[in-house]
Structure 1
Amino acid sequence: MDLAAVAVLVEAANAGSLAAAARRLGISPLMATRRLAALEAEVGARLMHRTTRALALTPEGEGLLPFAQAMLENEAAARASVRPAAAGASGLLRLTASAAFGRKVVAPVIAGFLKANPQVSVDLLLTDALVDMVAQGVDLAIRIAPLKDSSLIARRLANNPRHLYATPSYLEEHGTPGAVADLVRHQCLGFSGATHWPLAGGARGNRVRVQARFSANSIEGLREICLAGLGIAILSDWDVREEVARGQIVPLRLTDGEPEPLAIWAVHPSSRFVPPKVRLFTAALAEALRRAP
């Protein structure tokens, strides 16, 4: 089979359209259509239902897809096996991370990674939403959250300590909580739609009802309102390290509860083959996290 045509099938299945597949592969939509048609002619079956608005795999396409994915991974593995180790990584690395962590931690690592690997280009997607890695063609996701998708391969890079934080001005006006029960009298800043904070501690832990005039779907939004002195927020230590050093914000310690611990994970879609670009960037990020304060 023509691997270029196989790549069209895989990318079109992931992206949901031939136009998107063409963009990912750097070819014209007409060329993508011709390659898919040639593949269908070669295997003697229609692989995709195509209309002006939608694209879906036929039963034959669904049966061929895992083999097509394995073919592309095997080709990449073969190329990597004969590439000199000193050559480093190559190709486009599609990477996603949360907005705050991506801007403060991941982007500086990318800068050094690009300098060390001149044959690599990076497309960074910053979002606090959970990205469908397969559908969007993402090679690597950096996540700070409990992992639920068992079909993905994850490597734990580092712990992600979190604490309750507030400004000195807020605590002066509203008092400093000493226990979980005290939080009901405070402005607890939370995510949009969330009604409770899960706090570890005690036999079963605690769930604190979030009551505040402000909520957000972004950690950066919660951080800014907290820094403005309008409430208490659960924030990662790396996110406010400089503000703590300047005395703008302080961590709070409760006697019977604390934010549930999280970890920083590197997640990729397959265990059959990890491209050098993914492996080397993951190692670079892990090393940067290890050396961080």
Structure 2
Amino acid sequence: MQIADVRIFLAVAAAGSLSAAARQLNIGPMQVSRRIAVLEQELGVRLFHRTTRSVALTAEGEAFSPYANTIVEAEESARGELHPAPATASGTLKLTAPSVFGQTIILPFLTTLLEQHPDLCIDLDLSDRVLDIVGQGLDLALRIATLEDSELVARRIAGNPRIICAAPHYLARHGMPARLADLDEHQCIVLHSVPRWPVLVHGELQRRRVNARFTTSSVDAVRTATLQGLGLAMLTYWDVHEQLRDGALVAVVLEDAAMEDLSVWALTPTRRYAPARVKIFLDALEQELARRQQGQGMAPAA
């Protein structure tokens, strides 16, 4: 199997036609068609449904696509190991991130990043679901959670502790809770994925049931409801750091309990060397988080 043929396969899959891929690759359409035919013969399957105007991946082509990405990226990584890393990133960086983190952290700094790297493209999936990185051909997943054992490569980007918070006008009406038991007297806003609030009592993790006045599957909806004064919420630092800084939300510190200390993790598929665009993006993200942390007393250590 020729890596050049795999690159042509990926170009055709992305462009949706042989002629468009040929123009991108600066080769003739007939050459593209021949190389795809050679690849199909080697694999023993048909990779594309062909019509006079367009092509579409077959089920076998869909299944081969993530492996094709891995093959191409492995070659890029090998070249990067043998030669100095490029100063600029190129190609398409495919990543997923939690919705609120992506909207408040990633999107604002992408303009500068793309200006610095004109050959870089970003394909960003904002989702609170856990996606299959390898199966969907992703370069990178940003996650905020306690990581389970897996074959993925994990890199810690920054601390991200859980924080109980509320709007000032809610606390003015209902009072500031001082101890864990005081939560029983308050209405709370609960995320479906965290029905019981994890808290540390004498160093041991407990999951405490709270009075859920409003429940939702969306982190953004929890934050909005908290700002509107519907009750106390437990969110992570990077979800609400701007609101805490501006005073729109107030952190609740309990005397007899501490919050779980999570982190922002970057997960990449299992391979020794990642494409240069992954490293450049993660370095830029770390710098962005460090910049935002400066001057904020509650900022977690990176």
User: Which of the five TM-score ranges fits, normalised by the shorter chain?
Assistant: 0.7 to 0.9
Unmatched segments (≥5 aa) in structure 1: 12-20
* Residue pairs, 1:1-293, within 5 angstroms: 1-6=1-6, 22-23=12-13, 25-28=14-17, 37-42=37-42, 45-46=44-45, 55=59, 71-80=71-80, 85=85, 87-148=87-148, 150-192=150-192, 194-293=194-293
SS of match in other structure, 2:212: coil
**Partner letter of residue 89 of structure 1?**
A
**Partner letter of residue 59 of structure 2?**
L
Q: Distance in 1 between matches of 2:113 and 2:35?
A: 34
SS of match in other structure, 1:286: helix
Q: Give the match for residue 53 of structure 2.
A: none
Q: Distance in 1 between matches of 2:272 and 2:87?
A: 22
Structure 1 residues 38, 289: closer, same or farther in 2, change over 3 A?
same
> Do 1:183 and 1:208's aligned partners in 2 also have CA atoms closer than 8 Å?
no
Structure 1 residues 121, 201: closer, same or farther in 2, change over 3 A?
same
**Partner letter of residue 216 of structure 2?**
A
> Do 1:155 and 1:265's aligned partners in 2 also have CA atoms closer than 8 Å?
yes
TM-score by length of 2: 0.77
> Do 2:45 and 2:60's aligned partners in 1 also have CA atoms closer than 8 Å?
no
Structure 1 residues 85, 272: closer, same or farther in 2, change over 3 A?
closer
Deviations 1:162-186, CA, capped at 9 Å, x for gaps: 3100122222322322221221222
Structure 1 residues 229, 268: closer, same or farther in 2, change over 3 A?
same
> Do 2:46 and 2:58's aligned partners in 1 also have CA atoms closer than 8 Å?
no
Q: Distance in 1 between matches of 2:288 and 2:84?
A: 25
Q: Distance in 1 between matches of 2:161 and 2:102?
A: 17
**Partner letter of residue 175 of structure 1?**
G
Q: Distance in 1 between matches of 2:201 and 2:169?
A: 27
Structure 1 residues 35, 200: closer, same or farther in 2, change over 3 A?
farther
> Do 1:194 and 1:210's aligned partners in 2 also have CA atoms closer than 8 Å?
no
SS of match in other structure, 1:133: coil
SS of match in other structure, 2:267: strand
Structure 1 residues 110, 147: closer, same or farther in 2, change over 3 A?
same
Identity %: 39
Structure 1 residues 86, 54: closer, same or farther in 2, change over 3 A?
closer
SS of match in other structure, 2:178: coil
How many equivalent residue pairs?
A: 274
- Give the deviation of 1:118 after TM superposition: 1.1
Q: Distance in 2 between matches of 1:230 and 1:151?
A: 41
Query: CA RMSD of the aligned region, Å?
Result: 3.3
Moved more, 114-123 or 199-208: 199-208
TM-score by length of 1: 0.79
> Do 2:8 and 2:36's aligned partners in 1 also have CA atoms closer than 8 Å?
yes
Q: Distance in 2 between matches of 1:211 and 1:246?
A: 27
SS of match in other structure, 2:213: coil
- Give the deviation of 1:79 after TM superposition: 4.7
Structure 1 residues 276, 185: closer, same or farther in 2, change over 3 A?
same
**Partner letter of residue 17 of structure 2?**
S
Deviations 1:104-155, CA, capped at 9 Å, x for gaps: 1112232221111111111111111112212222111111112225111111
SS of match in other structure, 2:265: strand
Moved more, 263-272 or 278-287: 263-272
**Partner letter of residue 129 of structure 1?**
R
Q: Distance in 2 between matches of 1:190 and 1:103?
A: 21
Structure 1 residues 217, 7: closer, same or farther in 2, change over 3 A?
farther
